[in-house]
């Protein structure tokens, strides 16, 4: 395991839009618009399309707005709660290809802004206040931005693999992704 | 869930090399060469680099060779066992960038060969013999080829996210990928 490294974080954040674009653009909708059904509480699970909408919503309302709050207000002001269903609004009436373009554009703008902050090691130790987690550091926030991309790439692979759960026949026993229980966050 | 659809399978198989290339090429080695440590049996887990080597090994020895065996010999001849550690040989002395190029080239050749077979629905029902799973169909084999890409994209996301397990601080509770137990196949 490694400590947080801002250049490593930016390297990863830079690549996610192109990776999702290469994986999802013009793929048959049977892969991208289907989900994993309803969970035990009857809540609709997400399709790859929903996930890209969610990533866009995060670019608009989560990562850089919170980073700015840490730098401006420290622990004195609590972050806005993130709306886990905010992507429904973002995605309405759009195609997956439009969402992929929008995600790439917003991510690029946000990374431009992040680089322009020229954060020094001591800035990364600055603290903010999360509505549920309490005190967090800017370093943790930025590391989470990168890990959050990976959690959703992990989810997209799982949701897509689920569509072939029956089609693979007895091989389902060997495919780790089909044993993954989802681990959805609260 | 959908039934197996050969065009959907090919659509996905076509995209995986470009998706991995966009995600991994020139990423710092801290992301791509680290693994998840040893498992409970002391067996070394895989890094993203190892996974790309494993995908190459599958292109050479698993998917199309088995498809040809089904079409030529049906159930009368058992598939060769797949060597889960065959990638070590494939990867030796190579850079990740070389492996990504090699994976893209082999996948493209194999898909050319698959398309040239002009498989009809009745061909997809033809049966072969797996050394552990017994009788399987060509349809199941090809669906598994696609789902196997997804299982390893799922794994790569998890292995990379693991590197930031500490760096994300209290957010680890919200990141599903960090709760994923691996579900490694036998």
ipTM: 0.95
Does pTM surpass 0.80?
A: yes
Please give the average per-residue pLDDT across B52-78, as a whole number.
97
Q: Would strands B134-137 and A127-130 be described as parallel, antiparallel, or unpaired?
A: unpaired
Distance CA A168, CA B141 (A): 7
Separation CA A74–CA B13 (nearest Å): 47
Asked if B23 and B155 touch (Cβ cutoff 8 Å), the reply is: no
Which residue of A lies nearest to B4 if distances are taken between CA atoms? A167
The distance of B36 to chain A (nearest Cα, Å) reads: 8
Tell me the helices (H) and strands (E) count for chain A, helix number first. Answer: 8, 2
| C-alpha to C-alpha distance for A143 and A80, rounded to whole angstroms | 19
Strand ranges inside B25-166, DSSP E? 127-130, 134-137
- Interhelix angle A63-73/A48-61, rounded to 10 degrees, is 20
- What pLDDT does residue A13 have? 98
Distance between CA A34 and CA B78 in Å, rounded? 35
How many other CB atoms sit within 10 Å of the CB of residue A46?
Answer: 20
**C-beta atoms of A164 and B170 within 8 A:** no
Cα–Cα nearest to B164, from A108, A6, A58: A6
Residue among A48, A158, A167 with most chain B CBs within 10 A, to mutate = A167
Structure tokens of B30? 């801290």
Tell me: the pLDDT tens digits for A73-129? 999 999 999 888 888 887 999 999 999 999 999 999 999 999 999 999 999 999 999
| Chain segment A31-79, per-residue pLDDT in tens | 999 999 887 777 789 999 999 999 999 999 999 999 999 999 999 999 9
Q: Count other Cβ atoms within 10 Å, centred on residue B138.
A: 23
CA distance B142 to B88: 25
Question: How confident is the model at residue A1, as a pLDDT?
Answer: 61
Find out whether A124 and A56 touch, Cβ atoms under 8 Å: no
What single DSSP character describes residue A78? B
- Helix (H) and strand (E) counts in chain B: 8, 2
Are B59 and B110 spatial neighbours (Cβ–Cβ below 8 Å)? yes
Q: CA-based angle A39:A41:A44, to the nearest 5?
A: 45
Separation CA B106–CA B59 (nearest Å): 6
Find which of A150, A165, A179 to mutate to test the B interface (most B CBs within 10 Å of its CB).
A150
Q: Are A70 and A127 in contact (CB under 8 A)?
A: yes
Name chain A contacts of B12, Cβ cutoff 8 Å: 27, 31, 160
Region of residue B118 (phi > 0: left; psi between -120 and 50: alpha; otherwise: beta) = left
Q: Residue A184: pLDDT band by 50, 70, 90 thresholds?
A: low
Contact B12 A31 (CB under 8 A): yes
pLDDT band at B38 (very low <50, low <70, confident <90, very high): confident
Least confident of A11-15, B72-76, B79-83, B153-157: B79-83
Give pLDDT tens digits for A122-163: 999 999 999 999 999 999 999 999 999 999 999 999 999 999
- For B152, counting Cβ atoms within 10 Å of its Cβ (0-12 exposed, 13-18 middle, 19+ buried), the class is buried
Average pLDDT for chain B: 94
* Cα A140 to Cα A69: distance, rounded to the nearest angstrom: 14
Q: For residues A45 and A144, what is the distance between their CA atoms, to the nearest angstrom?
A: 22
Percent of chain B with pLDDT over 70: 97
Of the candidates A11, A153, A178, the beta carbon closest to that of B27 is on A11
Minimal-distance CA residue of chain B relative to A25? B15
What pLDDT, on a 0 to 100 scale, did the predictor assign at position B87? 87
What lies within 8 Å, CB to CB, of A5 at 6+ separation is B28, B30
| pLDDT bracket for residue A186 (50, 70, 90) | very low
* C-beta atoms of A164 and B4 within 8 A: yes
Residue B186 has pLDDT above 60, yes or no: no
Predicted pLDDT at B184: 59
């Amino acid at each position: 395991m490694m400590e947080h490294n801002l250049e490593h974080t930016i390297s990863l954040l830079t690549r996610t839009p192109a990776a999702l674009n290469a994986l999802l653009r013009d793929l048959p909708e049977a892969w991208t618009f289907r989900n994993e059904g309803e969970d035990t509480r009857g809540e609709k699970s997400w399709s790859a399309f929903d996930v890209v909408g969610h990533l866009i919503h995060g670019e608009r309302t989560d990562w850089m707005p919170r980073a700015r709050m840490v730098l401006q207000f420290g622990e004195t002001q609590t972050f806005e709660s993130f709306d886990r269903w905010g992507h429904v609004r973002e995605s309405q009436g759009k195609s997956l290809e439009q969402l992929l373009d929008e995600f790439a554009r917003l991510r690029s703008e946000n990374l431009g802004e992040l680089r322009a902050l020229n954060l020094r090691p001591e800035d990364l130790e600055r603290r903010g206040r999360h509505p549920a987690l309490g005190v967090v550091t800017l370093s943790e926030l930025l590391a989470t931005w990168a890990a959050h991309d990976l959690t959703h790439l992990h989810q997209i692979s799982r949701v897509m693999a689920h569509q072939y759960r029956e089609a693979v026949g007895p091989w389902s026993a060997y495919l780790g992704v089909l044993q993954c229980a989802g681990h959805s966050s609260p």
